[in-house]
């Protein structure tokens, strides 16, 4: 994921509580204000913002509490780690959750920082978990497949991308199926949500808007009446979501799906208040979508120019990223690079040759 500069260039007073800032075509109505530990910050009618800790560079995830009559609907849940559980325990003893307990859990997608504590909350309050089918089934599969040894198919995939023996050994050391460690045990049933469906939450109507590329069937939530979009990882203000080609569907086209989803979301109103999973709430949806689209299109052109001779995925990192790729970043960088190479292949701008199990790409 690529980080942009976060220093604002314009400041304007919104009210006595918040000082809004603007940067790169986006406006942040709450400025630098973020919810503290145990705090639920009101950001729209019936919508409160909470922030949970995430280990590592990602630092946090934003989750949302929606007034739902006598109860509260939770959107996204955080990672299954002690710090996030402790944060939830503090939130559950303070308003609004102390008066209006959890009545429903919605997860935008299957990633563990979003769904890691969904099962814990669902069991604790004896409520249903709501997700799209694509996300639910992916989550179930990935949390069920845990092994001590990495399967040969995964090792072959890493080799195909150009990993060396030391990189494969380091990645194999932790075993396979680590998703289970980051996700609390899930309920055996769920409530499916589908694109275009309207969910009544309190006195508001929230429409499901699905997208893909970052994950199979990401579910955003749109409240057209109040002009609010809960965007999950689909639209982030300062970083771009990872779009990766992986072992599960090596002939897929996740970047093509991502670009198609951007075009779909461009059809939403441009003045929505966007509530992202990482970073701060903002307005300027169309500007951000255009920037995300254009960055990927630029990377495709740069990669195409780099393929004057056959290259592996690992040979393309210098053209894809602004940082040295090593350690835990290797897997994400490989997946994202392969997604771009695959898009060039689908567009007819590159061809792939297999030599001794290694994928070599060259410009068509």
Number of structural domains (the chain) is 1
Mean pLDDT to the nearest integer, 48-53 = 98
Q: How far apart are CA 356 and CA 352, in angstroms?
A: 13
In a domain, 335, yes or no: no
Token pair 């090792």 is found at: 155
* Contact yes or no for 257/213 (Cβ under 8 A): yes
Mean of the per-residue pLDDT values of the chain = 93
Mean pLDDT to the nearest integer, 78-107 = 97
CA distances to 66, 274, 277, 283 from 29, rounded to whole Å, are: 19, 10, 16, 8
pLDDT recorded at residue 17 = 62
Mean pLDDT to the nearest integer, 9-26 = 60
Q: How far apart are CA 77 and CA 52, in angstroms?
A: 8
pLDDT recorded at residue 91 = 98
In a domain, 50, yes or no: yes
pLDDT recorded at residue 333 = 97
Identify which of 77, 79, 74 has the alpha carbon closest to the alpha carbon of residue 105. 74
- Number of C-alpha atoms within 13 angstroms, CB side, residue 84? 29
Task: Tell me what percent of the residues of the chain surpass a pLDDT of 90.
Answer: 87
Tens digits of residue pLDDT in 201-239: 999 999 999 999 999 999 999 999 999 999 999 999 999
Q: How far apart are CA 194 and CA 172, in angstroms?
A: 37
List phi, psi (to 5°) of 128: -90, 145
- In the DSSP assignment, the letter for residue 296 is H
Tens digits of residue pLDDT in 153-163: 999 999 999 99
The sign one gets for the Cα dihedral 43, 45, 51, 57 is negative
Mean pLDDT to the nearest integer, 178-202 = 96
Domain extent, residue 116, equals: 10-285
User: Is residue 352 predicted with pLDDT exceeding 70?
Assistant: yes
Using DSSP's 3-state secondary structure scheme, residue 226 falls into coil
Tens digits of residue pLDDT in 320-342: 998 899 888 999 999 999 999 99
In a domain, 351, yes or no: no
Rounding to the nearest 10 degrees, give the CA dihedral for residues 90, 94, 100, 102: -10
In a domain, 298, yes or no: no
pLDDT recorded at residue 12 = 27
In a domain, 170, yes or no: yes
* Contact yes or no for 284/25 (Cβ under 8 A): yes
Tens digits of residue pLDDT in 101-134: 999 999 999 999 999 999 999 999 999 999 999 9
Mean pLDDT to the nearest integer, 13-22 = 62
pLDDT recorded at residue 23 = 81
In a domain, 74, yes or no: yes
pLDDT recorded at residue 3 = 32
Q: How far apart are CA 207 and CA 94, in angstroms?
A: 29
Max intra-chain CA distance, the chain: 65
CATH number at residue 280: 3.60.15.10
In a domain, 91, yes or no: yes
pLDDT recorded at residue 97 = 98
In a domain, 39, yes or no: yes
């Amino acid at each position: 994921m690529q980080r942009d500069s976060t220093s604002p260039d314009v400041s304007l007073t919104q009210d006595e509580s918040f000082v809004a800032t603007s940067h790169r075509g986006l406006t942040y109505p709450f400025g630098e204000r973020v919810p503290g530990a145990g705090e639920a910050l009101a950001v729209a009618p019936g919508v409160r913002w909470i922030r949970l800790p995430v280990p590592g560079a990602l630092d946090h995830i934003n989750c949302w509490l929606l007034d739902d009559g006598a109860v509260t609907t939770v959107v996204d849940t955080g990672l299954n780690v002690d710090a996030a559980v402790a944060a939830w325990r503090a939130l559950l003893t303070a308003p609004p959750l102390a008066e209006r307990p959890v009545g429903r859990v919605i997860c935008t997608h299957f990633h563990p920082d979003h769904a890691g504590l969904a099962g814990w909350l669902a069991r604790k309050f004896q409520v249903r978990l709501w997700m799209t089918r694509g996300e639910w089934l992916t989550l179930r599969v990935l949390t069920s497949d845990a092994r001590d040894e990495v399967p040969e198919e995964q090792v072959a995939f890493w080799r195909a991308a150009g990993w060396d023996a030391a990189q494969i050994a380091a990645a194999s050391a932790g075993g396979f199926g680590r998703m289970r460690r980051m996700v609390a045990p899930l309920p055996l049933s769920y409530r499916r949500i589908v694109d275009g469906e309207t969910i009544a939450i309190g006195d508001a109507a929230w429409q499901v808007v699905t997208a893909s590329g970052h994950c199979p069937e990401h579910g955003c939530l749109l409240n057209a009446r109040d002009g609010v979009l809960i965007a999950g990882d689909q639209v982030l203000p300062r970083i771009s979501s990872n779009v990766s080609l992986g072992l599960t569907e090596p002939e897929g086209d996740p970047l093509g799906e991502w670009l198609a989803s951007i075009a779909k979301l461009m059809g939403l109103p441009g003045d929505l208040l966007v509530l992202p999973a990482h970073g701060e709430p903002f307005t300027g949806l169309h500007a951000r979508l255009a920037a995300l689209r254009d960055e990927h299109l630029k990377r495709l052109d740069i990669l195409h120019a780099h393929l004057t001779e056959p290259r592996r995925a690992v040979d393309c990192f210098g053209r894809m990223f602004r940082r040295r790729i090593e350690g835990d970043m290797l897997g994400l960088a490989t997946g994202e690079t392969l997604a771009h190479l695959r898009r060039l292949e689908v567009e007819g701008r590159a061809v792939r040759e297999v030599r001794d199990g290694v994928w070599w790409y060259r410009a068509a």
